[in-house]
């Protein structure tokens, strides 16, 4: 059975730029175009939920202001296109949800994100989740603060926390869903803090392709890898 939910770490944009003698804007632009392609392939494979890690919190804190400005400009441009009646999301009946430290982003970009979420909330053929300024470690801190606040306000007791279980804890996370399959491009074989709790029983597929070069054949190989895996869930 094909995976119902896939999350992707689209790594390799800067190496793609260096390899092909491109500027960052052109390289990241090719990467953004790939998102629409993968959404198409996912729907063809009957995937219902698709996630992308667009920007890590570490990248947000460490990349140059020029690179971040380029990324934010491209994000806003693609959001504006997606909002249109003829945009890719309308064609695919896809809804969008952003998660992460969105409060750190420029206000104009946050506004565009909120508008896109609002305009697509009724679409249900594909759920598209996009992590921006996201870190798994920061997500744990966010959950801990939420739990502590609920205890302080009397909504939870300390004993309640123990009985919550992992399903209850997910309600305090930025992203409460567990992907069946996580794909990372760019040769690197680690999660780098992406969905550490949610990925406990996910299958992992690491592709040597740089993200803008990731092709439908690569996507299909990831699906085939998942289909061949024996999923026991601890049994």
Q: Which residues are catalytic?
A: 11, 59
3-state SS, one letter per residue, for the chain: CCCCEEEEECCCHHHHHHHHCCCHHHHHHHHHHHHHHHHHHHHHCCCCEEEEEEEEHHHHHHCCHHHHHHHHHHHHHHHHHHHCCCCHHHHHCEEEEEECCHHHCCHHHHHHHHHHHHHHCCCCCEEEEEEEEECHHHHHHHHHHHHHHHHHCCCCCHHHHHHHHHHHHHHHCCCCCCCCEEEECCCCCCCCCCCCCCCCCCEEEECCCCHHHCCHHHHHHHHHHHHHCCCCCCC
Given a contact cutoff of 8 angstroms between Cβ atoms, the answer to whether 173 and 145 are in contact is no
Q: Of the candidates 206, 211, 203, which has an alpha carbon nearest to the alpha carbon of residue 6?
A: 203
Q: Cβ–Cβ contacts within 10 Å for residue 3, how many?
A: 26
Taking the C-alpha atoms of residue 209 and residue 46, their distance in angstroms, rounded to an integer, is: 23
């Amino acid at each position: 059975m094909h995976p119902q939910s896939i999350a992707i770490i689209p790594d390799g944009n800067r190496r793609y730029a260096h390899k092909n003698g491109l500027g960052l804007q052109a390289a990241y632009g090719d990467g953004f175009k790939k998102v629409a392609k993968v959404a198409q392939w996912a729907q063809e494979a009957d995937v219902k939920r698709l996630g992308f890690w667009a920007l890590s919190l570490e990248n947000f804190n460490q990349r140059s202001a020029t690179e971040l400005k380029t990324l934010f400009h491209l994000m806003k441009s693609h959001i504006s296109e997606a909002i249109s009646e003829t945009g890719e999301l309308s064609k695919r009946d896809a809804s969008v949800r952003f998660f992460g430290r969105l409060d750190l982003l420029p206000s104009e970009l946050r506004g565009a994100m909120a508008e896109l979420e609002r305009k697509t909330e009724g679409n249900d053929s594909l759920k598209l989740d996009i992590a921006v300024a996201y870190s798994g470690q920061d997500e744990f801190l966010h959950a801990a603060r939420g739990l502590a606040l609920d205890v302080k306000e009397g909504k939870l007791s300390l004993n309640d926390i123990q009985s919550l279980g992992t399903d209850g804890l997910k309600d305090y996370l930025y992203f409460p869903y567990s992907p069946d399959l996580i794909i990372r491009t760019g040769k690197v074989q680690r999660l780098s803090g992406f969905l550490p709790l949610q990925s406990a029983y996910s299958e992992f597929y690491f592709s040597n392709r740089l993200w803008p070069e990731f092709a439908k054949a690569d996507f299909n190989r990831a699906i085939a890898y998942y289909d061949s895996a024996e999923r026991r869930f601890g049994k």
